[in-house]
């Protein structure tokens, strides 16, 4: 019995020692590393894409790398060609983050969440490039359209002055009942002709008033027409000069009416046109939309300004004019699934990285100052 009892105590001791060794081994073992984040890269230059060597590049890709390095996050980049596929993948849990030319819009906010803004952006429009002569005519027509009320006033006063001149200078019957007049302004259209000649300071002298009232009217019209022509000329030159200093007329939504517009499907430009209830042609890529403008199938492309300006400058500089001004300001950000656990640390890291002078210098290499 003593022997058996001793053996039991020994076995219990060995078992305890074994369990202690297992506990120490478990305590010393490192936890499994977290799985890499699945990052969808929306394929739009210069924000995201793949080089010929197969390497991921772009402004958003570089920004993500800096943020992930700061947070020590492992990740895997996945190239996605359509915006709707990025958003659907985030909703379905296929991706953890979406980066690239992803503008914050109300429609997208209804589907996914967004991080702290990563890039300044906005919706812009690019038109086909005009020749110098076409551009001059366009600027002149735009300036005249802006001065429409003044032009109307001048035409009305010119017509009234011409008719009044005829009224006072028209032939009147003499005592014998015959019409006689020394004036050469014998009809209303001759009166209008006289007013035009006087206003333009041509002064042919073939139509001149003879009556005292007619001459008084002529003196008043001479002074008044000089003032109006000077006012019209000054405003016309000022508007054309201002447009050339800015490089182009800043577009407005009204400028798009009646134009054949193009936009990328599911892009911020397409959403803007839908909100404005403007008809447009849909294209798979921005390059396809710009090709339509180059070949005359469309008059203008509406898209986010950064991607539009980059592609025009690098590939379509000879046929498409770069965008000037914004139809609507906006921001781009990283897209996230709703209630994403990485949103708070991501926001903090983005705020720090995007505020640094080093990152601003990187952005300038893509978008300029």
More confident residue, 241 or 66: 66
What's the pLDDT at 226? 84
Instruction: Return the closest-CA partner of residue 222 out of 148, 157, 144, 134.
Output: 157
Antiparallel, parallel or unpaired: β 261-264 and 75-80: unpaired
* Higher local confidence (pLDDT), 267 or 24: 267
pLDDT at 227: 85
Under 8 Å between Cβ of 331 and 129: no
Q: Give the pLDDT band (50/70/90) at residue 114.
A: very high
What's this model's pTM, rounded to 2 decimal places? 0.62
For residues 291-318, give the mean pLDDT: 92
Domain segments of the chain as ranges: 37-118+333-367, 137-214
Cα torsion 61, 63, 67, 70 to 10°: value is: 110
Q: Give, rounded to a whole angstrom, the gap between the first and last alpha carbons of the chain.
A: 93
pLDDT of the residue at 87: 96
Query: pLDDT per residue over 162-205, tens digit each?
Result: 888 888 877 665 544 444 556 667 778 788 888 888 887 776 66
Instruction: Give yes or no for residue 99 having a pLDDT over 90.
Output: yes
Mean pLDDT of 226-254: 70
Q: Tens of pLDDT along 130-149?
A: 765 655 666 667 666 777 78
State what percent of residues in the chain have pLDDT above 90. Answer: 49
What's the mean pLDDT in 73-92? 96
Q: pLDDT of 325-334, one tens digit each?
A: 899 999 999 9
CATH for the stretch 137-214: 1.10.287
CATH class of 37-118+333-367: alpha beta
- Check for a shared fold between 37-118+333-367 and 137-214: no
Q: Is the pLDDT of residue 246 over 50?
A: no
| Confidence grade of residue 118 (pLDDT, cut at 50, 70, 90) | very high
Q: How many CA atoms lie within 13 A of 348 on its CB side?
A: 5
pLDDT at 153 > cutoff 70? yes
Average of pLDDT values for 35-46?
Answer: 95
| Confidence category of residue 81, pLDDT binned at 50, 70, 90 | very high
Q: Is the confidence at residue 7, as pLDDT, over 70?
A: no
Name the more confident of 179 and 298: 298
pLDDT at 220 exceeding the cut of 70: yes
């Amino acid at each position: 019995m003593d022997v058996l009892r001793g053996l039991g105590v020994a076995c219990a001791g060995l078992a305890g020692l074994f369990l202690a060794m297992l506990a120490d081994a478990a305590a010393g073992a490192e936890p499994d590393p977290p799985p890499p984040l699945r990052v969808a890269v929306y394929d739009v230059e210069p924000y995201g894409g793949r080089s010929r060597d197969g390497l991921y590049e772009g402004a958003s890709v570089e920004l993500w790398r800096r943020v992930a390095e700061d947070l020590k996050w492992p990740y895997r980049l996945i190239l996605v060609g359509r915006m709707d596929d990025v958003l659907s993948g985030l909703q379905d849990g296929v991706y953890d983050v979406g980066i690239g030319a992803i503008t914050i819009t109300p429609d997208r906010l209804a589907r996914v969440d967004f991080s702290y803004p990563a890039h300044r952006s906005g919706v812009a429009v690019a038109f086909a490039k005009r020749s110098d002569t076409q551009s001059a005519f366009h600027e002149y027509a735009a300036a005249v359209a802006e001065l429409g009320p003044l032009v109307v006033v001048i035409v009305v006063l010119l017509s009234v002055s011409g008719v009044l001149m005829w009224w006072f200078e028209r032939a009147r019957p003499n005592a014998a009942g015959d019409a006689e007049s020394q004036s050469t302004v014998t009809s209303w259209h001759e009166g209008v002709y006289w007013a035009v000649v006087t206003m333009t300071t041509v002064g042919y002298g073939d139509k001149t008033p003879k009556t005292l009232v007619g001459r008084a009217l002529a003196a008043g019209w001479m002074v008044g027409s000089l003032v109006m022509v000077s006012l019209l000329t000054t405003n016309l030159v000022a508007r054309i000069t201002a447009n050339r200093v800015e490089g182009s007329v800043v577009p407005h939504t009204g400028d798009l009416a009646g134009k054949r517009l193009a936009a990328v499907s599911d892009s911020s430009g397409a959403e803007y046109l839908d909100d404005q209830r403007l008809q447009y042609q849909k294209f798979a890529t921005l390059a396809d939309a710009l090709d339509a403008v180059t070949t005359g199938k469309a008059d203008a492309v509406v898209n986010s300004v950064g991607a539009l300006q980059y592609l025009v400058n690098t590939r379509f500089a000879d046929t498409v004019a770069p965008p000037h001004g914004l139809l609507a300001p906006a921001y781009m950000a990283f897209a996230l699934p709703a209630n994403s656990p990485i949103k708070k640390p991501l926001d903090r890291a983005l705020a720090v990285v995007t505020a640094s002078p080093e990152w601003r210098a990187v952005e300038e290499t893509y978008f300029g100052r």
